[in-house]
Amino acid sequence: MALNLVRVPISEQDAKERARNFKEVCLGYTEEEAVAEASRCLNCKKPLCVSMCPVSINIPEFIQHVKNKEFAEAAKSVAKYSALPAVCGRVCPQELQCESKCVLGNKGEAVAIGKLERFVADWSRENNVDLSAKEESKGKKVAVIGSGPAGLTCAGDLAKRGYDVTIFEALHEAGGVLVYGIPEFRLPKDTVVKHEVENVKKLGVKIETNVVVGRTVTIDQLLEEEGFDAVFVGSGAGLPKFMGIPGENFNGVFSANEYLTRTNLMKAFKDDHSTPIRVGNKVAVVGGGNVAMDAVRTALRLGADEAHIVYRRSESELPARIEEVHHAKEEGVILDLLVNPTEIIADEKGNVCGMKCVRMELGEPDESGRRRPTVIEGSEFILDVDTVIMSLGTSPNPLIPATTKGLDINKRKCIVAEEETGLTSKERVYAGGDAVTGAATVILAMGAGKNAAAAIDEFLSK
Amino acid sequence: MYKIVEKKQLAPQIFLMDIEAPRVAKSALPGQFIIVKMDEKGERLPLTICDYDLERGTITIVVQALGCSTKEMMKYEVGDYFADFVGPLGQPSEFVHENIEEVKNKKMLFVAGGVGTAPVYPQVKWLHEHGIEADVIIGAKTKELVILEEEMKAVSGTTYVATDDGSYGFKGLVTNLIEELVLNQGKKYDLVVAIGPMIMMKFVCKTTEKLGINTIVSLNPIMVDGTGMCGACRVTVDGETRFACVDGPEFDGHKVNFDEAMRRSGMYKTEEIDKECKLGGTK
């Protein structure tokens, strides 16, 4: 059999057109395209792709179903391992995970595993495939804190195992970063995210929104007064970092979280929603991760004339997904690389009117193996911008540890939990996702939710 | 969904509402706030808790119809529902956690400006329930804007009223009345708590600084989530950036950068007007 080393191309919205709308950029495979792409898979005996998937989806199995046009079977196969395939197919950094070890990648292009997973999930949604098979009730209650990827996965897995699960969510809508962080043009909310949340509800999971654990109710109250047998904390890492440079509180400086929450969760870009947003004509986003790419591309879509990424290292160090950087460049985002802000300047009314920056060069690699950027003397200049969005990463919110007796955190404010099980320093309390690791990826959070569900099941079955 | 079980007009454009929210009522303490979102397309509005009733499972809020959303809120009647109602948020007032005997030794003066009288009420009431009678100044532009006077009198030591135009009580600003009480009437206070418009809190702090009285203010910056995840509500206190929704809303008034806080509060003036027009306007 001849190897087919070239990927079936996927259709996308035209770059110029999409840079001004919030519709999804990538349009996904058709049935024929998906079957053709699936046919490239060699169905390896020892599939390395599976070893690189944090939730160990049986990748060759579902791809063979696609190849045979058994799409419902493919969806059921994926559902055994993942509660959010339509999300992961879209937002996982596959180039670092499953697709990085695909043997076809040695000589040509890896199988488009993410795009196939997305196809299967979208097909099963459009064709109403029932994925809600579950075991008999175990008569025990588990509380899940946070409805992001970790919480949804943990809740879904526990419900499948017969537990009575309630998710407590602080915001008015379930989904965590999937609803407030990742924009519509990468992850449609009404179709994809809502549907995946519905799938978790169909398993019998109850979702109580508007409950801030640590304020509205505490973990100790859930365990002692409300009769929960165990708790999983998947509260994420939502606390934004700022640089601490002068001028950061001028009008026109935002955290990426605020900018994205106003747009994605509150739909400030729609005229009939009442939350306002300040767009800016010339926008600089400081940072180089996925959130920075989301913010800068959002700024363009809101109507900014110019949108810059300001990043202190070079392009090869950008932590964002390659596909997103590529999309951003196509849409006209300007990359100001090896540049670092030192001060934000404002006019007499306190509105941002520029950002002082210095140019950087990369020195020797540090302990982490990354080349350390150092300032080039005398390189100071002013970037002409009226809006600055800080996307420097986030850390876990201290609210839950601060209000839960006996729950240990480390010096990065992350909850301390066993890697395999998610068990914390407090009996019956498990944790996973960004609350434990600090800001990471959707799929790693799902993996942690999955492991914790297994550990909780084992503990409660004793 | 959260049911409106009572609605009362307190003054022109100022309404009181009791909202059924048992989980919030169970945990609420003086100094905390809630966020309400009226419907699917609404914005998240922070409002300070005015009262809470554990038995009825209700939270009392007082709203002044100032902008598009608060004007819309006034159209809601008893039996209607708000889509979302979350809380209690923020840190409770410091005295809640202090040794009650030490609090008893403090002479406290609460200064309430306009609709800020509503968040002062639960604090004074809490102290009253713990055997402490604090004094209160209610300040308003004119007589008909004075709210919750009777309620306040029932739980305070002495309640004074100041109106800008002298139509009721003391004629002048709350700052004039503070000076009158301390300098002319010889009243001694260990702590002032001021809640009201930013500009009022700023000038109360200037006055109390001169008089050497520690002062707590409750800041009301722009908020989105109210849980610490966005920093929209950031303020500079003692040279450091703090998030009012999680670190506050109460801070040492003498250390707050009010000019910055006021400037940030006006950030969305243009956008709000734009939106209001787009929404068809409820003006």
Mutate to test the interface with A, among B227, B260, B265, B270 (most CBs of A within 10 A): B227
* pLDDT for residue A376: 95
- Annotated binding residues of B, as ranges? 62-64, 230, 233, 245
- B22 and B129 fall within a common domain: no
- A256 and A384 fall within a common domain: yes
Nearest Cα residue in chain B from A177: B229
- A170 and A249 fall within a common domain: no
Give how many domains chain B has, as a whole number: 2
Please list every residue in chain B whose beta carbon sits closer than 8 Å to the beta carbon of residue A291: none
- A332 and A368 fall within a common domain: yes
Domain extent for B189: 94-218
- A156 and A122 fall within a common domain: no
- Domain harbouring B159, CATH code: 3.40.50.80
* pLDDT for residue B274: 57
* pLDDT for residue B206: 97
> Whole-angstrom Cα distance, residue A155 to residue A160?
9
- Domain harbouring B17, CATH code: 2.40.30.10
- Annotated binding residues of B for [2Fe-2S] cluster, as ranges? 230, 233, 245
> Is A210 inside any structural domain?
yes
pLDDT at A16 over 60: yes
> Is B245 inside any structural domain?
no
Question: Is the CB of A277 less than 8 angstroms away from the CB of B24?
Answer: no
Q: How far is A22 from chain B (nearest CA, A)?
A: 18
- As for the ipTM of the complex, it is 0.91
> Is A132 inside any structural domain?
no
The pTM of the full predicted model, rounded to 2 decimals, is 0.92
- A373 and A400 fall within a common domain: no
Q: Output the tens digit of pLDDT for each of chain B's 283 residues.
A: 999 999 999 999 999 999 999 999 999 999 999 999 999 999 999 999 999 999 999 999 999 998 888 899 999 999 999 999 999 999 999 999 999 999 999 999 999 999 999 999 999 999 999 999 999 999 999 999 999 999 999 999 999 999 999 999 999 999 999 999 999 999 999 999 999 999 999 999 999 999 999 999 999 999 999 999 999 999 999 999 999 999 999 999 999 999 999 999 888 876 655 555 444 433 3
- Annotated binding residues of B for FAD, as ranges? 62-64
* pLDDT for residue B272: 59
- B13-29: pLDDT as tens digits: 999 999 999 999 999 99
Taking residues A251-269, what's their average pLDDT? 95
pLDDT at A176 over 90: yes
> Is B64 inside any structural domain?
yes
Counting one residue from A and one from B, how many pairs have CB atoms under 8 Å apart?
A: 120
> Is B214 inside any structural domain?
yes
* pLDDT for residue B277: 47
- B112 and B47 fall within a common domain: no
- B98 and B85 fall within a common domain: no
- B100 and B154 fall within a common domain: yes
Assess A242–B contact: CB distance below 8 Å, yes or no: yes
Domain extent for A98: 15-126
Please list every residue in chain A whose beta carbon sits closer than 8 Å to the beta carbon of residue B224: 258, 261-262, 266, 275
Q: How far is residue A40 CA from its own chain's centroid?
A: 28
Nearest Cα residue in chain B from A252: B267
B218, B252, B276 - which closes a domain:
B218
Taking residues A397-419, what's their average pLDDT? 94
How many other C-beta atoms lie within 10 A of the C-beta of residue A3? 11
- Domain harbouring A308, CATH code: 3.50.50.60
- A112 and A182 fall within a common domain: no
Question: Is the CB of B268 less than 8 angstroms away from the CB of A172?
Answer: no
B218, B249, B273 - which closes a domain:
B218
Taking residues A363-380, what's their average pLDDT? 87
Mutate to test the interface with B, among A212, A245, A266, A390 (most CBs of B within 10 A): A212
The tokens describing A247, both together, are 């001028």
Question: Is the CB of A258 less than 8 angstroms away from the CB of B230?
Answer: yes
Taking residues A425-445, what's their average pLDDT? 94
- A379 and A436 fall within a common domain: no
Q: In terms of C-beta density within 10 A (0-12 exposed, 13-18 middle, 19 or more buried), how is residue B79 classed? A: exposed
Q: Which of A361-365, A399-403, B37-41, B111-115 has the lowest mean pLDDT?
A: A361-365
Contacts by residues B7-14 (CB-CB < 8 Å, ≥ 24 positions apart): B7/B76, B7/B77, B7/B78, B10/B62, B10/B147, B10/B148, B11/B144, B11/B145, B11/B146, B11/B147, B12/B144, B12/B145, B13/B64, B13/B65, B13/B66, B13/B74, B14/B62, B14/B63, B14/B64, B14/B65, B14/B115, B14/B145, B14/B147
- B85 and B131 fall within a common domain: no
B186, B218, B250 - which closes a domain:
B218
pLDDT at A2 over 80: no
- A217-232: pLDDT as tens digits: 999 999 999 999 999 9
- A36 and A96 fall within a common domain: yes
- B147 and B191 fall within a common domain: yes
* pLDDT for residue B50: 93
3 state DSSP class of A11? coil
